[in-house]
Amino acid sequence: MKYALFEGHRIEPKKGLRAVCPYCENEVISKCGSVKMHHWAHKNDLNCDIWKENELQWHRNWKNQFPAEWQERIFTDTQTGEKHIADVCTDNNFIIEFQHSPISEEEKVSRETFYKEMCWIVDASGVRFRKRFFEKGLIYPYTQLPGFYFIDNPPNALPPQWLQRNSFVFLDFKGDSDERQFDDLWCLVPTTVKTTNTLALRIARIDFVEMTKNNVLPSYLISLRDGLSKTLEARKKRWHL
């Protein structure tokens, strides 16, 4: 956890400080060693929000791309009172969740249902994921829509647990690599048309961040989804698929 409450203000951990968890309101202790990144921890070292995984530097690096007031915001359902800590929540209540660890289908559906307007950024930097995607899956550009690429045999080329989601999924292959081919994000766009191939959109990391900061990412993603669905539907009718 990056932020806790100290005298009513959100602060980052500093050595020797104790503060209050903004979610459960219990005491948290600053952890400021030389090995792990600085963070706040509950006395029992457990996460009070069941949806939160232990944070890695990968999570923190992504969060730091966005305004501090957007990071680790508590999102509450006004009707049910249910609440969770969103990794990033914009001024327009668009949620970005950064996912490194395996996650059950049930939890993915729960988060997508709860947050409604959201996208995932998935850590796909493992060598196995990279090899499957870039050597076995990525075949050629889909010329009718610039930036899109065909992914051959999606279940073998992509993490199967992230296929056919209702929300947008961005695959981050970067990790610690210096290779430029891993710099960009690859977006799996949900469509209303079923195809044997999956289409992935290549998008520059900086463009994703800037569109989010300017609050235009949600409308951009919706236009992508609708445009892709129409194009695929027309193609399906043309070829009687």
Q: What is the mean pLDDT of the chain?
A: 88
Do 141 and 149 contact (CB within 8 A), yes or no? yes
List CB contacts of 6: < 8 A, sequence separation 6 or more: 17, 19, 20
pLDDT given for residue 239 in this prediction = 60
Look at residue 147 and give its three-state secondary structure: coil
pLDDT given for residue 3 in this prediction = 96
pLDDT given for residue 49 in this prediction = 86
Torsion sign, CA atoms 103, 139, 177, 88: negative
pLDDT given for residue 165 in this prediction = 87
pLDDT given for residue 10 in this prediction = 96
pLDDT given for residue 196 in this prediction = 67
- What is the per-residue pLDDT across 48-91, written as a single tens digit (0 to 9) for each? 888 888 889 999 999 999 999 999 999 999 889 999 999 999 99
User: What residues of the chain score a pLDDT lower than 50?
Assistant: 241
* Token pair for 53: 């995984």
Secondary structure E strands in the chain: 4-6, 9-11, 18-20, 27-31, 39-42, 71-76, 83-89, 95-99, 118-123, 138-141, 148-151, 168-172, 185-188, 198-203
Q: How far apart are CA 141 and CA 147, in angstroms?
A: 7
Q: How far apart are CA 164 and CA 121, in angstroms?
A: 15
pTM of the model: 0.90
Look at residue 35 and give its three-state secondary structure: coil
130 phi/psi in degrees, rounded to 5: -60, -45
CB neighbourhood size of 188 (10 A):
24
pLDDT given for residue 45 in this prediction = 67
